Chain A
Amino acid sequence: GENVEQHPSTLSVQEGDSAVIKCTYSDSASNYFPWYKQELGKRPQLIIDIRSNVGEKKDQRIAVTLNKTAKHFSLHITETQPEDSAVYFCAATKGYNYGGATNKLIFGTGTLLAVQP
């Protein structure tokens, strides 16, 4: 079945440095790739997403890149700040259809990002 691998599992950076988290997916039919941020004790929230017809997307200090050929996508955070400290999850759609189509996401195992002041 569909699998999403995420690396690294933990990442520690100095404030102001960049952070990169990488994910690979197995199903070439996947076409939607969101990233969720989960702060300690809080719910996961979407921070950025990309669709398969786009190679890169930016939102202020956050960017996501997608390489469909290699089946991997990455989250880039520039000028990191202490409030960026959280667990980040990547995900990919499996493209599931049953009756009506539905978006079943497969999540990576998460990256704990610690930004040291």
Chain B
Amino acid sequence: EPEVTQTPSHQVTQMGQEVILRCVPISNHLYFYWYRQILGQKVEFLVSFYNNEISEKSEIFDDQFSVERPDGSNFTLKIRSTKLEDSAMYFCASSSRGQTYGYTFGSGTRLTVV
């Protein structure tokens, strides 16, 4: 069964450093998303991406965050200057038809900012 692949599975970084989280969505999917989940809290929407541009972003997704689809397969989330409160699980998801079929989530990247 096709899956969404995320790397790395766990990243530890120092406060103020830049991190790039990587995702390979399912190949025929057109809609891409990043969500985060702080430990013990809900899954929160960060950003959606379609047709090579951001469709929607949350208020969490400030100037420190950016997304890119640098080639036909990868989808990345960059955090420019990490803060302690950025520590969370980050999930990439993709979908073929937007709302109709739900998302397929990747296994996540656990980001720990120290």
Chains A and B come from one and the same complex? no
A residues near B (Cβ < 8 Å) are none
B residues near A (Cβ < 8 Å) are none
